């Protein structure tokens, strides 16, 4: 059993990667837009692996989820989808089915870079960054190997 925290700029591929991993592992995906800590807690308590689909841009978020994983005795994992291409991000944002709380376009290069570099990562834990500008098949096995460690 595992708890995987996804990270990356909106449109970088977090949801695509989450769906791929969930399909292979049977994990449940929890999107941060509908996130309730009690929901994650409940799924872990029931013995399900959980994937948190969130950009991880806020202080304390990683530590909170690491603590929750510890409390349930499950391994904590962190994968960041990194896509340093504002044009591709905007293309993805504009062609996906958008939730009300999700952005539709990135207008500022400065804001994009700040957001891109603002991901909060585990300080004392191994994590994986994938180039989500490449086809999923190119890094899929690397992610599954990381989750299996």
The token pair at 9 is 């700029």
Question: Within 13 Å, how many C-alpha atoms sit on residue 79's CB side?
Answer: 28
Arithmetic mean of pLDDT, 20-40: 83
Q: How far apart are CA 81 and CA 9, in angstroms?
A: 7
Q: Which fold has domain 2-148?
A: Rossmann fold (3.40.50)
Q: What is the mean pLDDT of the chain?
A: 85
Tokens 């708890």, located at residue: 3
C-alpha dist (Å) from residue 125 to 32, 78, 88, 104, 142? 22, 9, 30, 33, 17
pTM assigned to the model: 0.73
Is it the case that residue 99 has pLDDT exceeding 60?
A: no
Tens of pLDDT along 43-54?
Answer: 999 999 999 887
- Banded model confidence at residue 140, pLDDT cuts 50, 70, 90: very high
């Amino acid at each position: 059993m595992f708890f995987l925290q996804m990270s990356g700029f909106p449109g970088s591929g977090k949801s695509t990667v989450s769906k791929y991993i969930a399909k292979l592992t049977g994990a449940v995906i929890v999107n941060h837009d509908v996130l309730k800590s009690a929901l994650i807690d409940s799924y872990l308590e029931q013995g399900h692996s959980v994937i948190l689909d969130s950009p991880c841009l806020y202080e304390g978020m990683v530590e909170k989820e690491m603590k929750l994983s510890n409390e349930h005795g499950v391994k904590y994992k962190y994968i960041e989808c990194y896509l340093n291409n504002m044009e591709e991000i905007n293309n993805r944002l504009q062609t996906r089915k958008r939730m009300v709380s999700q952005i539709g376009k990135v207008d500022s290069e400065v804001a994009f870079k700040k957001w891109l570099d603002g991901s909060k990562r585990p300080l004392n834990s191994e994590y994986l960054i994938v180039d989500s500008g490449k086809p999923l098949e190119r890094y899929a096995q690397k992610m599954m190997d990381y989750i299996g460690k």
